[in-house]
Amino acid sequence: MTDKETQFDVIPQYDALEQIQRELVFYPAEPENSTTLSAEQAKQYNELGYISNLDVFTDSEADELRGYFDGLLRNVVAAGGDSYSISTAHFKHPRVYDLLKHPTIVGYVKDILGENVVGWGSHFFCKMPHDGKAVAWHQDASYWPLTPSKTVTVWLAIDDADEGNACMKFIPKSHLHGHLEWRESSADENNVLNQTVDNALDFGDPPVHNVLRAGQMSMHSDLLLHGSDANDSDRRRCGLTLRYCAADVHAHMDWNLKGVIVSGQADSRLWPGASRP
């Protein structure tokens, strides 16, 4: 048996994120290997940490997807949840599992992560009109027991998202500063999540709004600082986040059980492969 075949035979087990020695640095895409993105788009991802306005669905397809989510949200709320409760949705809902494997979405992701890709996360972030909740500046990598940080987040717009209804904001080039210090968010921040990076504007270019038409998507690095304001408008703002990583990433604390092989191959000892619900 070769070294390559045995390198994952002993995989350390951890009970808490703080115990894991994570390698949190930016891994650039290889623009010369792009097949779905243009080389220029892949270069932009490397330089800025994100790429946006990628078409996935037509207007009519986006309308149908919104109708599906409307029904899903009604059921979740009726069961006692709220508009932020629909997490790890590909474990529960076949339609979301299929979205995680959607060939257009996976095609974009492969141009960032390479041929062997695992989809492991799916979470609807739905800001209802006037719900008062913001998302403070943060890095996705801070939350995840994954190493190395060869990961990317897709934000698929269910509703039109713009500055008026609190679309996501990015701090370009902040992904190049590595993992940043954060503090637990205070109660008066009314933060959907629980982490805040102070002085975030010191770590990149001025913030940009991630304006998306329903049916479009963006991708951003797990080290890119991003957040969003409270939705003070009369319009809902919903997006589905889909999380992907290269297949050689180690996921601890049983997070590897969430993984779905969406392209190429993965060592089954790292990613056993979750089934369609």
Q: What is the pLDDT of residues 9-39, one digit of tens each?
A: 556 778 788 888 899 999 999 999 999 999 9
Residue 243: domain span: 36-263
Residue 190, pLDDT above cutoff 60: yes
For the record, the structure tokens of 176 come out as: 């190049």
Q: Is residue 1 part of a domain?
A: no
Residue 3, pLDDT above cutoff 50: no
Q: Is residue 154 part of a domain?
A: yes
Q: Is residue 26 part of a domain?
A: no
Domain holding 72: CATH number?
2.60.120.620
**85 confidence band (pLDDT: 50, 70, 90):** confident
**What's the structural domain count of the chain?**
1
Residue 1, pLDDT above cutoff 60: no
State pTM to two decimals. 0.93
Mean pLDDT of all residues in 171-180: 97
Mean pLDDT of all residues in 185-200: 87
Q: Is residue 277 part of a domain?
A: no
- Look at 19-33, 73-87, 237-251 and tell me which has the smallest mean pLDDT: 73-87
**84 confidence band (pLDDT: 50, 70, 90):** confident
Q: Is residue 7 part of a domain?
A: no
Residue 74, pLDDT above cutoff 90: yes
**187 confidence band (pLDDT: 50, 70, 90):** confident
Q: Is residue 4 part of a domain?
A: no
Q: Is residue 269 part of a domain?
A: no
Q: Is residue 276 part of a domain?
A: no
Residue 5, pLDDT above cutoff 60: no
Check residue 11 and give its pLDDT: 64
